[in-house]
Amino acid sequence: MKQVKKVFVLAMVIATIALSGCVKDENTSADSVTRASYLGNWLVSPTKSTYAVKITADPNSSDGVFIENFALVGSSFPPASASVNGNKITLDDNQVIGTGLTIKGSGTLSGTQIKWNYTTFDGADLTTVNETYTKQ
């Protein structure tokens, strides 16, 4: 009987050691995502045609970013502004981009993609947009 008890204790020790190696990788949590994860060049789809945007850091904010060519308004216009918090990026409230396009919404970063859900209002029509940014 002592032999069975020793084998059982040994099996429990081995199982404990094996299971202690199964720890969640903290590097993939939303809390570990920083503003730097958003910066760079992105391709946008699905839309009528794929287009590029560039996300840069707002030098006056620790969590702010600028999105050049947001909603395909063109790079000659001032960029849209947003703030990041972990894996969530949120457009700043009450901003108008391009030639009078009011935007509102947010996106979620997962790996090398941002899934956006936002609205645009041109003064006459409210449009809901779902698109994906893929980092280049």
Q: What is the pLDDT along the chain (136 residues), one digit of tens a residue?
A: 555 454 444 444 344 434 344 443 333 456 679 999 999 999 998 767 899 999 999 999 999 999 999 999 999 999 999 999 999 999 999 899 999 999 999 999 999 999 999 999 999 999 999 999 999 9
Looking at the 3D structure of the chain, how many domains does it have? 1
Domain of 121?
28-135
Domain-located, residue 81: yes
Domain-located, residue 17: no
Domain-located, residue 130: yes
Domain-located, residue 99: yes
Domain-located, residue 79: yes
Look up the CATH number of the domain holding residue 33. Answer: 2.40.128
Tell me the C-alpha distance between 37 and 46, whole Å: 22
Domain-located, residue 83: yes
Domain-located, residue 4: no
- In the numeric block, the tokens 């859900």 are attached to 117
Domain-located, residue 14: no
pTM of the model: 0.77
